[in-house]
Amino acid sequence: MAPEHSKVDVLIVGAGPAGLMAATWMAQCGINTRIIDKRGTKIFSGQADGLQCRTLEIFDSFGFADRVWKESNHMLEICLWNPDEDGRIRRSDRIPDTIPGISRFQQVVLHQGRIERFFLDFLKENSDIRVERGVLPETFKFDEFLAEDHEAYPIEVTLQHLSEEELNPDQSQMTKGAAKSDGLFRSNMAADDTDELLDRASKNGRAGTRETLKAKYMIGCDGAHSWTRRQLGYQLEGEQTDFIWWDIRIISGDSANLSKFRGVLDIIPITDFPDIRMRCAIHSANSGSVMVIPRENKLVRLYIQMTTTEKGGGKPLKVDRSNITPQMILECAQKTIAPYKLTYNYCDWWTAYQIGQRICPSFSANERIFLAGDAVHTHSPKAGQGMNVSMQDTYNLGWKIASVLKGTAHRSILKTYQSERHRIAQDLIDFDHKFSRLFSGRPAKDVMDEAGISMSEFKSAFEKGNLFASGVAVDYGASILVAKEGNPQDGANGTNIGISASSVHGKPEVAKNIKMGMRFPSFQVLNQADARPWQFQERLKSDGRWRLILFAGNISNPPQMTRITNLCANLSPIIKRYTPAAQPIDSRIEILTLHSAPRASTELFSFPELLRPLSDEGWDYWKIFVDDESYHEGHGRAYEGYGADAERGCLVVVRPDGYVGWEGEIEDIEDIGRYFEGFMVVQR
Amino acid sequence: MAPEHSKVDVLIVGAGPAGLMAATWMAQCGINTRIIDKRGTKIFSGQADGLQCRTLEIFDSFGFADRVWKESNHMLEICLWNPDEDGRIRRSDRIPDTIPGISRFQQVVLHQGRIERFFLDFLKENSDIRVERGVLPETFKFDEFLAEDHEAYPIEVTLQHLSEEELNPDQSQMTKGAAKSDGLFRSNMAADDTDELLDRASKNGRAGTRETLKAKYMIGCDGAHSWTRRQLGYQLEGEQTDFIWWDIRIISGDSANLSKFRGVLDIIPITDFPDIRMRCAIHSANSGSVMVIPRENKLVRLYIQMTTTEKGGGKPLKVDRSNITPQMILECAQKTIAPYKLTYNYCDWWTAYQIGQRICPSFSANERIFLAGDAVHTHSPKAGQGMNVSMQDTYNLGWKIASVLKGTAHRSILKTYQSERHRIAQDLIDFDHKFSRLFSGRPAKDVMDEAGISMSEFKSAFEKGNLFASGVAVDYGASILVAKEGNPQDGANGTNIGISASSVHGKPEVAKNIKMGMRFPSFQVLNQADARPWQFQERLKSDGRWRLILFAGNISNPPQMTRITNLCANLSPIIKRYTPAAQPIDSRIEILTLHSAPRASTELFSFPELLRPLSDEGWDYWKIFVDDESYHEGHGRAYEGYGADAERGCLVVVRPDGYVGWEGEIEDIEDIGRYFEGFMVVQR
């Protein structure tokens, strides 16, 4: 049979969370897209991660954070358990799991299968994009001379469509084996089985149909053993041990060999340990550590690190992998948690894992083929960050590709994917490295015990880690998209991100809590037209539009209203320049207004029409907000929260992904013009 | 073809909101149930109602309030517009639409079709109950001598199953006609077409199959022209005019005839009226009234009441019904709203309606056949209460029937349906009557203008109406289920509700804001085991269980902990008495504890095991709560909110529907025993 030929704007390889996030952007922006996955089943038993506050904010910008919030287990408090003077574990500290005030969400835990379900439901409701399962990429060609040709399809991939039965029987068996079967941790352990699958299908004569697909852009979200990365010849760099579930380490100053087990148990625990529904870090005096992650449906995940001093000196005890049982892992946990008792009737999943922090130096080839998620960074599961950082990779990338394809933005913005996300991946690995070391070690007996881990250092790391782990601390460097001062090479990882000495710089002083490069924070505001309270972030949907947030200040003061009127007169031509004539005025850049005059003495129709544009459906009642007392939810004190001047206001540009691109005074209209000029395509 | 014979425990006739609510209870309690509806289509264009706070609380107890909250339009403020001295309309007042503090929800508006969708999704996810559409009841027999025989099926109904094509072509056409077709208001206008449908099906030889169904219980939720009510020979009593959309009234003191139009328009308005996204009551000086109800999807519902003084004296102007157009209704609205402009490009639905408040004196036959919703009470749409009261009828009834069928409670509790709901229906009609009069009238020119409606009286009525319209003011009278003092005949409408001078009486003074007969209010509490904040009501799911709320007080004080320990020892045999031996201890009566000691200095395992029972899945971590500061949501101050003594605590019994049955001191264990003895069936 002759191969079928087809074309697509964006090909996404891999339908895990990173791939689905990319597809979600394409759905929102109406981009011609295909997403393939070699596996026939979509849910992997046992895979679960904590979800950062920032991830929930992102989900909310697509409209499904509420489903996660409802089904997930909420983690509120971390309890630290350490040995007391008699070596018995005691609760030494309680700290909030999410730092109060940093987000309107808190960290939660939910099975990855549910997260994927929410993405799939979104795609079904909002687009024609469907995950094609059992589709394997076989050959790859890339014509880099066509990379800068906007109309070209420089990528060619042959795909093999397997029949349902041929798909991944091993994985299926594992999934069906259900409760107590073994499993492998996603990022680090599973070898890439693309070749094996293709080979097996070919040998039994059921290879399925072949298709030759040409694509403008391609995103490889195909995991730690990424087929896409292999085609580009890129390598992950960093530590990679071959030992799966034990290794031998000589801790300096300690002459004994230590055997370390690292295991995971997902169980419904039966225990008299009082904090089993809290996130806990338990360090026993001499019997290893346990991290407790309470999950949904009464489940608890235990990360177990067993450190035993081997008798007989330097000879490591080798354990045959096939002999490992959940009972062995449980016994390790029981030793750590003693004198409390721990057992279970139901085990959902268990595994052993290794720590291997690795990163890929380059995240793209010619800004046509991109790699994201585990394909470019791997680390230990314990930090609970993997799925978040992976999804945020493609959340950063998706709108940029869509903007270029739609002719809204120049291709130059695509370089910011590498400059923005490579440093985040490096930060994650550094965090994971430090955190793993602290968790793995034996607690120090006293301040003189230098071989042990100081529990106060551990607590401090945990607290600092919380900010990192929230995801809201992400701060992208200066670029054509982030008009802040600073060395353009900082964190750019050698990428030319198109800025120069003549680049426009915003004024961070106009709103001290709105920071260029960071996500636009959220405070409660009221809709002027119907008095409904909203978290301001809820109005910044991820729909591909840029947003101008006009802090209009106290518009009951006539000179201030004059400033606003003048601004609108000057802003109108800039917005029109980047908006196709046939499109609504708010289709590329939407203006949202927040004023500080009393709501009840302000009339909607006193604002310039640009701020509440007219359409076939009447005036727009959903763009003007006020910082005032609500009837049922208190006062948002948004001006105070944002650190903006409640009289004079200011102006903020928010990127389609919610990160702040520019901020300045209401008169800085020329700067706004230059900012957009840096990367936006003129439409008329 | 010989008729098919079958049996069912509960037959529900009518799958509107009242019928679906009944089915939802049956699903939750695992009752063998069928629900039939004569219509083949499920959604009626245009039907929408406000949803009371209480209705949202009830939806939340089944787990789908969040879907309503997300999709609906939230109404926050009511603006009153009245003529000024020059006769021009002005905004005279702003009042909150929902009284702050009475509920964790506020009133919202959503299309009835979506509400039905959420019920249907619930049934699908939680039971085998499916709505059987196109099934018409044909004949009815009831053997009342079997009414008190627990095992009997005293009801026999023949059902005719119509084919898909035969179903209700008129309604289908109307629905397909979409945007601007005419429609009839649900409650009052549609004649019962059961006979017509049967007749038509019979004449064309496509009558479908017949089935003879025997039922233990039957609930007629089949609307204002209820077939079920007709079988019982019951009549609605009250005002019923035959004029559909105009009538003539001589207002005392005014010699001219007034023609009144009452119309509804669902449009996306194009208007410079500034409060179109607020709920508004607009009284013009001489050109009628408009009520504005902002809806979801940019829609606005306008209730239009046009009062024109006819020229030519006493001769009423007759208007042919077929001549009515939405344009005519719009023009009426335009006159009221002038000088503001109003038009539209999109009309979703429009109709004319009459006001006719009627009630059925009896809500059941022998407590085997029950009537609910519009089948027993009709009124005007403007109060926005109809759907709420109808759903709350079956919310009151469903668990009672289920409890009797499951052998948990005696049949005597079924009499409380009539005693509790008849008065609510009467209250609604009185409210509607008063409200319609105030809305219909012309505004008074000054205090001497007795024929006009005083605008201050109107505002005051609106404010009082708000409490009524929230649904949380419902206060059921004394009965075997509500252990409060008072004349048992009050509001019982002649029903023998089984209480006497020797009946147990709770002590309202133990918690001044928890009132027997009213719904258990909600404040934020924290789970002791994981520090998560909950609205306490969220833990009172509608699953058929009774709940003992133990306000345990300050259990860090040893004598108080002794009181709790003693209580548990005495409570255990009472709970066991009403719980089958094979069932978990919390399967019929669940104990939820709220203490007031500091969370961090309290250990879960210091509580008696009865309060955190052990099962195959370990100890229960979801039953003990604390009134303390949360990390992210502030302090719930629940003891203060409930008005309970934070040292001594108290004990409250909450019915399966969330209404308070009894309250007393922690030592009043004997009273609790007597309370349950009044209606619970001993299991062992």
pLDDT in tens, A466-493: 888 899 999 999 999 999 987 655 555 5
- Residues of chain A with Cβ-Cβ distance to B538 below 8 Å are none
pLDDT digits (tens, 9 = 90+) for B530-583: 999 999 999 999 999 999 999 999 999 999 999 999 999 999 999 999 999 999
Sequence-ordered list of residues with C-beta below 8 angstroms from that of A6, at least 6 positions apart, any chain:
A211, A212, A213, A214
pLDDT band at B42 (very low <50, low <70, confident <90, very high): low
Asked if A295 is an active-site residue, the reply is yes
CA B86 to chain A, closest CA, distance in angstroms equals 22
- Of all residues in chain A, the one with the smallest CA distance to B273 is A605
The helix or strand, by DSSP H or E, that contains position A86, with its residue range, turns out to be none
Lowest mean pLDDT among A103-107, A173-177, B534-538: A173-177
Angle ∠(A184,A240,A179) on CA atoms, nearest 5: 10
Give me the pLDDT at residue A188, please: 34
| Strand partners for B91 | B81
Asked if B295 is an active-site residue, the reply is yes
Lowest mean pLDDT among A155-164, A447-456, A566-575, B191-200: B191-200
Residue A476: DSSP 8-state: P
pLDDT band at A286 (very low <50, low <70, confident <90, very high): confident
pLDDT at A73 over 80: yes
pLDDT digits (tens, 9 = 90+) for B625-644: 999 999 999 999 999 999 99
CA A83 to chain B, closest CA, distance in angstroms equals 19
Q: Measuring CA to CA, how many Å separate A40 from each of A211, A271, A374, B104? A: 18, 38, 20, 44
Question: Which of A437-446, B371-380, B428-437, B621-630 shows the highest mean pLDDT?
Answer: B621-630
pLDDT band at B597 (very low <50, low <70, confident <90, very high): very high
pLDDT at B187 over 50: no
pLDDT at A554 over 90: yes
Residue B242: DSSP 8-state: -
Structure tokens at B88: 């021009």
- Average pLDDT value for residue range B422-440: 82
Give me the pLDDT at residue A248, please: 32
pLDDT at B245 over 70: no
Please give the share of chain B, as a percent, with pLDDT higher than 70: 82
- Residues of chain A with Cβ-Cβ distance to B79 below 8 Å are none
pLDDT band at B204 (very low <50, low <70, confident <90, very high): low
Task: Indicate yes or no: CB of A74 within 8 angstroms of CB of B269.
Answer: no
Size of interface A-B (CB pairs under 8 A): 107
Give me the pLDDT at residue A180, please: 34
Q: Measuring CA to CA, how many Å separate B610 from each of A343, B119, B553, B607? A: 21, 34, 17, 8
Angle ∠(A232,A237,A238) on CA atoms, nearest 5: 160
pLDDT at A354 over 90: no
CA B116 to chain A, closest CA, distance in angstroms equals 20
- Residues of chain A with Cβ-Cβ distance to B631 below 8 Å are 76-77, 96-98, 100, 106
Lowest mean pLDDT among A160-164, A578-582, B249-253: B249-253
Sequence-ordered list of residues with C-beta below 8 angstroms from that of B424, at least 6 positions apart, any chain:
B389, B392, B393, B474
pLDDT at A494 over 60: no
Residue B274 near residue B89, CB atoms below 8 Å: no
Q: Map residue A22 onto helix, strand or coil.
A: helix
Structure tokens at B412: 């005597």
Give me the pLDDT at residue A430, please: 84
Task: Indicate yes or no: CB of A618 within 8 angstroms of CB of B98.
Answer: no
pLDDT band at B523 (very low <50, low <70, confident <90, very high): very high
- Residues of chain B with Cβ-Cβ distance to A294 below 8 Å are 530
Top-level CATH class of A508-677?
alpha beta
- Average pLDDT value for residue range B291-301: 93
Catalytic residue among B137, B269, B381, B521: B381
- Residues of chain A with Cβ-Cβ distance to B604 below 8 Å are 274
pLDDT digits (tens, 9 = 90+) for B80-130: 999 998 999 999 999 999 999 999 999 999 988 899 999 999 999 999 999
Lowest mean pLDDT among A284-293, A328-337, A464-473, B303-312: B303-312
User: Which residue pairs, CB below 8 angstroms and at least 24 apart, start in B174-177?
Assistant: B174/B45, B175/B41, B175/B43, B175/B44, B175/B45
pLDDT at A126 over 70: yes
Q: How far apart are CA A283 and CA A280, in angstroms?
A: 10
**Which residue of B60, B71, B532, B635 to mutate against A (max A Cβ within 10 Å)?**
B532
- Of all residues in chain A, the one with the smallest CA distance to B270 is A618
Nearest neighbour of A618 by CB, restricted to B75, B270, B621: B270
Q: Do domains B4-73+105-241+356-438 and B508-677 have the same CATH topology?
A: no
Q: How far apart are CA B404 and CA B363, in angstroms?
A: 18
- Of all residues in chain B, the one with the smallest CA distance to A634 is B100
pLDDT digits (tens, 9 = 90+) for B667-684: 999 999 999 999 999 998
- Average pLDDT value for residue range B294-323: 67
pLDDT at B169 over 70: no
Spatial CA neighbour of B507 closest among B659, B634, B305, B672: B672
B516 or B358, higher pLDDT: B516
Structure tokens at B559: 């004598």
- Of all residues in chain B, the one with the smallest CA distance to A71 is B63
Task: Indicate yes or no: CB of B100 within 8 angstroms of CB of A631.
Answer: yes
- Average pLDDT value for residue range B370-376: 96
B432 or B333, higher pLDDT: B333
Q: Map residue B22 onto helix, strand or coil.
A: helix
Give me the pLDDT at residue B420, please: 97
Q: What is the mean pLDDT of chain B?
A: 86
pLDDT digits (tens, 9 = 90+) for A180-210: 333 333 333 345 566 767 776 666 665 678 8
pLDDT band at A245 (very low <50, low <70, confident <90, very high): very low
- B4-73+105-241+356-438: in CATH 1.10.510.10: no
- Of all residues in chain B, the one with the smallest CA distance to A534 is B74
Catalytic residue among A303, A344, A353, A417: A303
Task: Indicate yes or no: CB of B631 within 8 angstroms of CB of A530.
Answer: no
A346 to chain B, any CB pair closer than 8 A? The answer is yes
Give me the pLDDT at residue A316, please: 44
CA dihedral over A204, A205, A208, A213, signed as positive or negative: positive
pLDDT at B406 over 90: yes
Residue extents of the structural domains in chain A: 4-74+106-241+359-439, 508-677
pLDDT band at B349 (very low <50, low <70, confident <90, very high): confident
DSSP secondary structure letters along A174-231: HHHH-TT-EEE-HHHHPPP-HHHHHHHHHHTT---EEEEEEEEEEEE---TT-HHHHH
Give me the pLDDT at residue B203, please: 63
pLDDT band at B428 (very low <50, low <70, confident <90, very high): confident
| Strand partners for A512 | none
Query: Which residues in B57-186 belong to E strands, given as ranges?
Result: 73-74, 77-83, 89-96, 108-111, 131-133, 135-142, 155-161, 182-184
- Of all residues in chain A, the one with the smallest CA distance to B605 is A274
pLDDT at B154 over 60: yes
B646 to chain A, any CB pair closer than 8 A? The answer is no
Task: Indicate yes or no: CB of B603 within 8 angstroms of CB of A274.
Answer: yes
Lowest mean pLDDT among A247-251, A397-401, B55-59, B263-267: A247-251
Question: A4-74+106-241+359-439 has which CATH code?
Answer: 3.50.50.60
pLDDT at B68 over 50: yes
- Average pLDDT value for residue range B144-163: 93
DSSP secondary structure letters along B431-478: HHHHHHHHHHSPBPSSTT-TTSBPHHHHHHHHHHHHHHHHSTT--PPS
From the CB of residue A205, how many other CB atoms can be counted at a distance below 10 Å? 6
A450 or B66, higher pLDDT: B66
Task: List, as ranges, residues 616-645 from A with C-beta within 8 Å of B.
Answer: 616-619, 621, 630-632
pLDDT at B262 over 70: yes
Give me the pLDDT at residue A390, please: 94
CA A506 to chain B, closest CA, distance in angstroms equals 33
pLDDT band at A401 (very low <50, low <70, confident <90, very high): very high
Task: Indicate yes or no: CB of A294 within 8 angstroms of CB of B530.
Answer: yes
Task: Indicate yes or no: CB of A276 within 8 angstroms of CB of B621.
Answer: yes
- Residues of chain B with Cβ-Cβ distance to A346 below 8 Å are 617
ipTM exceeds 0.95: no
Task: Indicate yes or no: CB of A632 within 8 angstroms of CB of B106.
Answer: yes
Pairing relation of β-strands B289-294 and B279-283? antiparallel
- Average pLDDT value for residue range B273-295: 92
pLDDT at B449 over 90: no
Give me the pLDDT at residue A152, please: 96
Give me the pLDDT at residue A448, please: 75
Q: Map residue B590 onto helix, strand or coil.
A: strand
Q: How far apart are the first and last CA of chain B?
A: 48
CA A73 to chain B, closest CA, distance in angstroms equals 9
Task: Indicate yes or no: CB of A271 within 8 angstroms of CB of B618.
Answer: yes
Task: Indicate yes or no: CB of B76 within 8 angstroms of CB of A106.
Answer: no
| Strand partners for A182 | A350
Task: Indicate yes or no: CB of B631 within 8 angstroms of CB of A271.
Answer: no
A339 to chain B, any CB pair closer than 8 A? The answer is no
CA B66 to chain A, closest CA, distance in angstroms equals 8
Asked if A303 is an active-site residue, the reply is yes
Q: What is the mean pLDDT of chain A?
A: 86
Q: Measuring CA to CA, how many Å separate B406 from each of A609, B151, B409? A: 63, 11, 8
Give me the pLDDT at residue A357, please: 79
Lowest mean pLDDT among A155-159, A275-279, A417-421, A461-465: A461-465
Distance of CA B355 to the CA centre of its chain: 20
Q: Measuring CA to CA, how many Å separate B167 from each of A379, B1, B209, B211? A: 61, 21, 14, 18
Amino acid at A573: P
B167 or A162, higher pLDDT: A162
pLDDT digits (tens, 9 = 90+) for B320-345: 555 678 888 899 899 999 999 999 99
- Of all residues in chain B, the one with the smallest CA distance to A275 is B529
Q: How far apart are CA A357 and CA A241, in angstroms?
A: 10
Give me the pLDDT at residue B463, please: 77
pLDDT at B278 over 50: yes
- Residues of chain B with Cβ-Cβ distance to A633 below 8 Å are none
